[in-house]
Amino acid sequence: MKVDGQCHCGQIRYEAEIDPANVSVCHCTDCQILTGTAYRVSAPASAASLVFRAGAPKIYIKTAESGNKRAQGFCSNCGTPIYSADAQNPQSYFLRVGTMSQRAALPPQRQIWCRSALAWASDIRGLEPSERA
């Protein structure tokens, strides 16, 4: 599936090919901190399919629990997370689904690092909905 996306301010815009069957939720503590929320939703795109149409992400290198170095690409202007990838030799980029125009059509198909999941994050159906703040 072809997707396109951008950061909040529009400085970074991209296109890529993804497989909707590979959309996942990650509950690891690094993703919680890096996103500023309970989890991260991403979809892998091959390095060959990812094309930046505007701007270039700023890169922050984090060390995963495994010891692997992971590049975190984000907008240097608005701070929107765009992707994560292997810092040394990226074969794929894990694009943040929230940045994609097609996000409503990309429900997660699996969850990982559930041992770190926040208990309240698994069910918010009981919260009173509001169309606007």
Q: Please give the pLDDT value at position 122.
A: 85
Read off the pTM.
0.92
* The amino acid at 28: C
Cβ atoms 94, 42 nearer than 8 A? yes
H or E element, residue 110: strand 110-112
Task: Catalogue all structural domains in the chain, each as residue range(s) with its CATH number.
Answer: 2-118 (2.170.150.70)
Tens digit of pLDDT per residue, the chain (133 long)?
A: 999 999 999 999 999 999 999 999 999 999 999 999 999 999 999 999 999 999 999 999 999 878 899 999 999 999 999 999 999 999 999 999 999 999 999 999 999 999 999 999 888 888 888 888 7
CA distance 102 to 104: 6
Q: How far is CA 86 from the centre of its chain?
A: 14
- Which amino acid is present at 85? A
51, 14 contact by CB (below 8 A): yes
- ∠ CA 70-89-96, nearest 5°, is 45
Question: Across the strands, what pairs with 92?
Answer: 46
Measured CA distances, 4 to 45, 50, 52, 104, 127 (Å): 12, 10, 10, 13, 32
Rg (CA), the chain: 15
